[in-house]
Structures are given as C-alpha cells and as structure tokens.
C-alpha cells in the first residue's frame, strides 16, 4: 500500500514537472494537473498540503536529479578537468537547444516567477544554484592544479560568472526562439577555460 501511495505521488510530480516546464507554475491549475495525471480530484491534498508544497517538491526533485547528472559527468577521473567541464557545458547547450519541454531548465523557467510568489521555492532555487556553482568550482580548481584550465585570481568568481552567462544565454535563447546565444556561450566558455598556450 505504501509503495502504491508513493507511486501515485511520484506520478503526480512527474506530470506536474512536464506541465510546469511547458506552461509555468502560476498558470498550472490543479484540476488540469489531476485530469492529465488521471488521478481523482481529492488525491492532490492527500499527498501535498498546498500547491506551494507541491512546487517545492518538484524543485527539490529537479535539483536532486540534476546533481546526480552533474556528478556523473564531473566525476570521470580519466579526463582532465577542462574536458569534464566542457562535457557539462555541451550537455547544457544540447539540452536547452532541444524543443523537448522536459529538457528545459526549471531555473530559467521558474526563477523570476516563483521567487515573487513563494519564499520557500525561492530558497530551494537559491540553494540549488549555489550547490551547482560549488560543484563547478571544485572542478575549476582541479583544472588550475592539472594545468588544463586557465588560472584566474578567484575560482568562485570565475565559476559564478560562467554560470550566470549560461543562465542568461538560456533565457535569451528562449525569448528569441534562437539558439545562437547558447552557441556563443559555449565558444566564450572555451576561451575562458582553455589555457592561453592551447588556444
């Protein structure tokens, strides 16, 4: 019985993630969600205290899955730090240039929207972003040490600037329906990270 409950709850979250990625959080109606999920109307409040609680769980799961994906890419010790970082940025480029709504970055999709609606959701986003930057910074530092990444005075500042550039490129690409900002971010990232002697 417990497994069935968890399965139903996860099904609602999975459908909700798809709908939020496509339409946003504010416009998501619970009746539409439950109709799409083919779940009885009364089920929602059996699993979630509120729509905000539901949104928090979507974001928490998004980051949990994202961190797993990141760690899988960045942990490959057979490659240089530069190679691992560039594999991550290539993954970002390819996923955000996709027309598949499920590939969309929820940070850029929901960031401004939910930050004004829910302090809990804003905090999950802010903490998740910091965790992403921390993971990237650790690889940048490895790159300084193995010589595969151009040294900078402040690894955290360098990493944060790169991440912010990619967030901006993703947002502009979505606004303009033009993926060139993502390609430009990829080229600029290569220029910033690659040691001058290798350029």
Residue 38 region by backbone torsions, left for phi larger than 0, else alpha for psi between -120 and 50, else beta: left
Q: Between 155-176 and 106-115, two packed helices, what is the crossing angle to 10 degrees?
A: 90
Among 66, 96, 106, which residue's Cα sits nearest to residue 183?
Answer: 96
Q: What are phi and psi of 38, to 5 degrees?
A: 55, 45
- In the chain the domains, ranked by start, together with CATH numbers, are 50-198 (1.10.357.10)
Tell me the pLDDT tens digit for each residue of 107-146.
Answer: 988 888 898 889 999 999 999 999 999 999 999 999 999 9
Q: Which pLDDT score is estimated for 101?
A: 65
Answer whether 165's CB lies under 8 Å from 185's CB: yes
Answer whether 169's CB lies under 8 Å from 105's CB: no
In terms of pLDDT, which residue wins out, 198 or 68?
A: 68
Q: Which pLDDT score is estimated for 1?
A: 43
Output the six-digit token pair for 16.
């909700």
Least confident of 8-12, 75-79, 143-147, 167-171: 75-79
Using the predicted structure, report yes or no on whether residue 152 has a pLDDT greater than 90. yes
Full-model pTM: 0.90
pLDDT band per the 50, 70, 90 thresholds, residue 2: very low
């Amino acid at each position: 019985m417990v497994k069935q409950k968890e399965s139903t709850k996860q099904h609602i979250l999975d459908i909700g993630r798809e709908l939020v990625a496509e339409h946003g959080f504010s416009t998501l109606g619970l009746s539409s969600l439950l109709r799409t999920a083919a779940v009885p109307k009364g089920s929602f409040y059996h699993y979630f205290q509120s729509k905000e609680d539901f949104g928090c769980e979507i974001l928490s799961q998004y980051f949990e899955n994202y961190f797993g994906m990141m760690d899988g890419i960045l942990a490959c010790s057979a490659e240089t730090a530069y190679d691992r970082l560039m594999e991550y940025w290539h993954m970002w480029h390819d996923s955000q240039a996709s027309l598949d709504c499920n590939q969309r970055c929820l940070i850029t999709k929901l960031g401004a929207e939910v930050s004004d609606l829910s302090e809990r959701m804003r905090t999950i986003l802010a903490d998740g972003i910091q965790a992403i930057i921390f993971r990237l910074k650790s690889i940048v530092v490895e790159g300084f040490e193995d010589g595969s990444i151009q040294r900078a005075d402040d690894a955290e500042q360098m990493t944060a600037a790169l991440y912010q550039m990619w967030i901006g490129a993703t947002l502009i690409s979505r606004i303009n329906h033009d993926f060139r900002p993502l390609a430009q971010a990829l080229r600029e990232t290569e220029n910033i990270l690659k040691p001058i002697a290798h350029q």
